[in-house]
Amino acid sequence: MQRYALLAVVLVSAPLAGQSLPPVRPVGPTVARSTEPMGSVSQVLSLPGGRVLINDILRRRVLLTDSSFTVLAVVADSTSSTANAYGGRSGGLLPYRGDSALFVDPSSMSMLVIDPAGQIRRVMSAPRPQDVNNLIGGPNGNPGFDARGRLVYRAQPAFRMAAPRGGGTPVLPEFPDSAPVVRFDLATRSLDTAGFFRINRPNMTVTQLPNGGMSVTSKINPIPTVDDWALLADGTIAFVRGSDYRIDWVRPDGTRESGPKIPYEWQRLDDDGKAALLDSAMKAMEQQREMAMRGGGPGGAPTMVMMGPGGAAGVEMMVRGGVAGGRDPWFGPRWEIRSLPEMDRAMEEMRRRMAE
């Protein structure tokens, strides 16, 4: 059973004396429309001659169009016509050397080099397996290459595992409150960390029920104060700090500097706004809960039990599913872990599959 509680944050109005707000930049007029149905476009890259590469992650295909968005070629899709170049999971599209592009396929953990004509020329190995899902862009930030040819992206944060307390009380992994942005050298396969930024961390607790079951309680802040990051054209990495509206810069030569606070206007969240926010959040979470219930075991989601034989000396975890045929959709009828190293590997596999 899962129980959810929401923690709302009130924003208090605070005028900024002597500062003016940044100018508003209007969006330009629409110059072209596509007649080709699109599912969900995540990235668009411009090529010479007005051509465009489009990544449709919902239909799982990469299209090459002209300046009027007329489709010239299907570069990658999930059919045999392109040798199944688009795998079973959402992929990423990012600019590469010159006018070429890279298509990241998390399914095969590879990166396809696309030339300006829309042809796949070669395949490269993706960086670390645990980071490949962060190369598709979107909520994790848009990866890119710096002036030295290093791939800059958000890496997977480290989850700390803890052994169960005395008496066999289950313990969830400790969720981090920050994530690193790294630079990966494709030639030497070396990696260095450029900096960290704050991410949302759920507050989850586990209690043992009298019947031996497990209850997970999650407290979620619906409007958390977090950071973000972006890669500039010259290779500078910008860390946008949400707590005080400023930007920390990491220059290509390694120097660091902190920018001034950016003027902004606080917006008060009144009672009506809080009620609407809570209602919409509860509705979305209930929909996710129903989806988990439909895909789980008999009367609920796959069950997980963690216990420590002999106290904290070891770990045993059993995941039991109950979909058609009594099999868990991820790990089969039963999955057992009996040591902390195995637990680390298991949790990493669970996070990877949950992100699919």
Q: Can you give the pLDDT of all 356 residues of the chain as single tens digits?
A: 333 333 333 333 344 444 577 788 888 898 888 888 888 899 999 999 999 999 999 899 999 999 999 999 999 988 887 777 888 888 999 999 889 999 999 988 999 999 999 999 999 999 988 899 899 888 888 999 998 899 999 998 877 666 666 555 556 777 888 999 999 999 999 999 999 999 988 787 777 778 777 777 777 777 888 999 999 989 999 999 998 889 999 998 889 999 999 888 888 888 898 888 888 888 887 887 776 665 444 444 443 433 333 333 333 333 333 333 333 333 343 344 444 445 455 555 655 555 55
In this structure, what are the phi and psi dihedrals at residue 147, rounded to the nearest 5 degrees? -65, -20
Q: Cα-atom radius of gyration of the chain, to the nearest Å?
A: 23
- Pairing type for strands 246-250 and 316-320 reads unpaired
- For 28, other C-beta atoms within 10 Å of its C-beta total 6
Q: pTM for the complete prediction?
A: 0.68
Sequence-ordered list of residues with C-beta below 8 angstroms from that of 35, at least 6 positions apart, any chain: 69, 70
Report CA-CA distances (Å) from 252 to 129, 145, 183, 184, 289. 26, 11, 11, 14, 45
Round to whole Å and give the CA distance between 179 and 191: 15
**Cα(239)–Cα(258) distance, integer angstroms:** 9
| Residue 74, strand partner residues | 63
